[in-house]
């Protein structure tokens, strides 16, 4: 799988949290990270139900250049979603395979508040579960 932004081959990387451990695909060149749906499913159970109010999350925006999904053979454009708390953070997600791409600074911004919970919220929103 290649980086949607700079086309570098993505490298598998393990993320550890006190509650979960799973793999993501990481770009050593631009620092972006890809989370696919299966990876996100594994952390679902550690997400607090009270924090899943995310229906109002994203409106699409064209602030940034369009990226193609690295998981869908670059046939599917990623859609843009604003982070609910920080409008400067634009998350790219795939409407087809439900993967999420975060650029380097975006992951750092999310980590400030607890990226695991945030990613979980986004995931729940993408799969349309209550």
Applying CB under 5 A, the residues found at the interface with Zn ion are 3, 5-6, 8, 27, 29-30, 69, 71-72, 76, 94, 96-97
CB of residue 122 to Zn ion, shortest distance in Å: 15
Q: Smallest gap, in angstroms, from Cβ of residue 85 to Zn ion? A: 25
Q: Measured between alpha carbons, how far is 31 from 125 in angstroms, rounded to an integer?
A: 25
Pick between residue 3 and residue 91 the one whose CB is nearest to Zn ion.
Answer: 3
Return the number of the residue (3 or 110) whose C-beta is nearest Zn ion. 3
Distance separating alpha carbons of residues 3 and 26, to the nearest angstrom: 8
CA distances from 5 to 33, 34, 55, 77, 112 (A): 11, 11, 27, 12, 24
Whichever of 11 and 55 has its CB closer to Zn ion, that residue is 11
Closer CB to Zn ion, 1 or 96, in the complex: 96
The C-alpha atoms of residue 55 and residue 128 are separated, in whole angstroms, by 9
| Shortest spacing between CB 4 and Zn ion, in angstroms | 8
CB of 35 to Zn ion, least distance (A): 11
Distances (CA, A) of 6 to 18, 31, 36, 50: 32, 10, 18, 37
């Amino acid at each position: 799988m290649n980086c949607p932004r700079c086309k570098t081959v993505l490298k598998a990387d393990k993320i550890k949290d006190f509650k979960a451990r799973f793999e993501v695909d990481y770009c050593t060149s631009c620092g972006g990270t890809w989370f696919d749906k299966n990876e996100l499913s594994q952390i679902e159970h550690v997400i607090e139900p009270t924090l899943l109010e995310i229906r109002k999350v994203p409106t699409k925006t064209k602030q940034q250049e369009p990226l193609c999904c690295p998981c869908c053979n670059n046939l599917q454009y990623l859609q843009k979603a604003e982070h609910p708390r920080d409008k400067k953070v634009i998350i790219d997600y795939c409407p087809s395979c439900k993967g999420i791409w975060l650029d380097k600074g975006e992951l750092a911004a999310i980590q400030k508040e607890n990226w695991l919970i945030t990613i979980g919220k986004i995931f729940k929103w993408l799969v349309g579960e209550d």
